[in-house]
Amino acid sequence: DAKTTQPPSMDCAEGRAANLPCNHSTISGNEYVYWYRQIHSQGPQYIIHGLKNNETNEMASLIITEDRKSSTLILPHATLRDTAVYYCIVRSPHSGNTPLVFGKGTRLSVIA
């Protein structure tokens, strides 16, 4: 699975969009980009995943660049409850149910 690079921390004002970047310049053609987050004292929580098209669900949007070397997770209206560590993970479809490999992630602080 390709390696990812994320900024260690970011701040966002409550009610504004939080844009979390992830660099995955060595991603291969069939690898997916997954995002998980971990709120303090809880287990990691799946947010969204995508291959090359932009994806949106009830939690967030995922924008993947055309060359697929980077992506951005967007929380459209961040709330204080979105304060968490966000992990970007690249996985091959052949990874199936193999374990997740977590990096250090981005610590997002949503500020009132």
Partner 1 sequence: DAGVIQSPRHEVTEMGQEVTLRCKPISGHDYLFWYRQTMMRGLELLIYFNNNVPIDDSGMPEDRFSAKMPNASFSTLKIQPSEPRDSAVYFCASSLSFDSYNQPQHFGDGTRLSIL
Which parts of this chain interact with partner 1 (CB under 8 A)? 32, 34, 36, 41-46, 49, 91-93, 95-104
Between the two ends of the chain, the Cα-to-Cα distance in Å is: 37
Alpha carbon distance 19, 70 (integer Å): 13
- The size of the chain, in residues, is 112
The CB-of-80 to partner 1 minimum distance in angstroms stands at 20
The CB-of-44 to partner 1 minimum distance in angstroms stands at 5
Helix (DSSP H) and strand (DSSP E) numbers for the chain: 0, 9
Would you say 12 or 85 has its CB closer to partner 1? 85
The CB-of-72 to partner 1 minimum distance in angstroms stands at 20
Query: In terms of C-beta density within 10 A (0-12 exposed, 13-18 middle, 19 or more buried), how is residue 28 classed?
Result: exposed
Only one residue has tokens 């690249």, namely 90
3 state SS of 94: helix
Would you say 13 or 39 has its CB closer to partner 1? 39
Would you say 12 or 105 has its CB closer to partner 1? 105
The CB-of-56 to partner 1 minimum distance in angstroms stands at 16
Would you say 54 or 102 has its CB closer to partner 1? 102
